[in-house]
Amino acid sequence: MLSRLLKEHQAKQNERKEQQERRRREAISAATCLTEALVDHLNVGVAQAYVNQRKLDHEVKTLQVQASQFSKQTAQWISMVEGFNQALKEIGDVENWARSIEMDMRTISTALEYVHKGQSAVS
């Protein structure tokens, strides 16, 4: 009877150990699944951040190229406007020169008319 009780006790202990081992494996499996799910969730966020960063880098490069092109175009426009201003100044200089010549010619013409009238009156 004592040996039977001992065998039953050992059988129950073995059964409890097996049940405890099975629960331990289930707990480890559940913890592993949870960890993988959390890591996957975090990886989705990290992957999205990486994709966004790559898009931003591309946009920055595009913006730099466009800014450089705009700067070159602006420099060309400034050069053209300066050339136009210089041409306007030259036109103004020519106009002033022409007025000066015209006034000198009128003065000479008036003087010649005066001399011609003076000679006609004397003769």
- The DSSP output letter for 1 is -
Q: How far apart are the first and last CA of the chain?
A: 179
CA–CA gap between residue 59 and residue 42 (Å, rounded): 26
Q: Structure tokens of 9?
A: 């006790």
Residues 6+ apart with CB under 8 A from 108: none
- The DSSP output letter for 116 is H
> Which residue in this structure is represented by tokens 């006609």?
120
CA–CA gap between residue 79 and residue 77 (Å, rounded): 5
Residue 29, amino acid: S
pLDDT value for 78: 96
Q: What is the pLDDT along the chain (123 residues), one digit of tens a residue?
A: 888 888 888 999 999 999 999 999 999 999 999 999 888 888 888 889 999 999 999 999 999 999 999 999 999 999 999 999 998 888 888 888 889 999 999 999 999 988 888 887 666
pTM for this predicted structure: 0.49
pLDDT value for 105: 94
